[in-house]
Amino acid sequence: MQSEYYIYQPDGNNNFGKVGIVRPEIGAETQTSTSTSTSTTPTADKYDLANFPAGFIKNGQPNGIIVVNDDMFNEDKFQRAVLDLYTATQVSNQPIKLVQEVVTVSRTNAIVIGNPCVNSLAYEIISVKSPNCKEGFIDGKGVVMTHITRFGNINILIAGGTTDDTIKAINVLADYRSNKNVLKGEEVIIN
């Protein structure tokens, strides 16, 4: 059975209102959206992964942060994948941030790693406020999805049903130059 997800966005008064966007369950047949835009900068509400790392580099300088959960970051294979992402993409000139160090990602370009069960900032990107933090994330599948904040910043969520699924998705974005045929649209499922 396919679930529907309603996307909520905050207004200027920190109230959330449904904006009517519905996306299929992660792993469903219609798993990626494609864009015909050739722009390398985000539109007001969309960022095509084919343009990555555009927007994260400003005037030749890194213009973003990477945020992880410290428990996951203590795992060697996860740490290696995140460090590969950090060095390969060069989107941040700051140390990798732990979720406890970041209040919100809406005011900055950010790559948030981990589903909402391990990284509460993921809720800002998926905008699904479910009591089941793993809802929509399926074991065996990773996801790379984008969100433009109300301040016009680019947020990318890299997550999966398991740590290994998340690592697979991290590796796809870290090797974005070789994965241009995969990284298209606003959401990509990694099997």
pLDDT at 75: 86
Q: What is the tally of structural domains in the chain?
A: 1
pLDDT at 44: 56
pLDDT at 127: 65
Residue 168 lies in a domain: yes
Examine the pLDDT at 188 and tell me if it is beyond 60. Answer: yes
Question: Which residues are 139's β-sheet partners?
Answer: none
Residue 176 lies in a domain: yes
Torsion angle defined by CA atoms of residues 47, 51, 55 and 61, in that order, rounded to the nearest 10 degrees: 160
Residue 107 lies in a domain: yes
Residue 23 lies in a domain: no
Domain that holds residue 85: 33-190
The CA distance from 53 to 60, in Å, is 11
Residue 10 lies in a domain: no
Residue 178 lies in a domain: yes
pLDDT at 114: 94
Residue 156 lies in a domain: yes
Q: Which token pair is 67? A: 């945020």
What digits encode the pLDDT tens for the residues 107-165?
999 999 999 999 999 988 986 677 888 888 999 999 999 999 999 999 999 999 999 99
What digits encode the pLDDT tens for the residues 23-71?
333 332 222 333 333 344 555 578 999 999 999 998 999 999 999 998 8
Q: What is the CATH number of the domain that holds 93?
A: 3.30.379.10
The CA distance from 45 to 135, in Å, is 24
The CA distance from 107 to 115, in Å, is 20
What digits encode the pLDDT tens for the residues 73-109?
888 899 999 999 999 999 998 889 999 999 999 999 9
The CA distance from 81 to 4, in Å, is 31
Whole-model pTM? 0.76
The CA distance from 184 to 171, in Å, is 16
Position 162, amino acid: T
Residue 50 lies in a domain: yes
Q: Are 144 and 169 in contact (CB under 8 A)?
A: yes
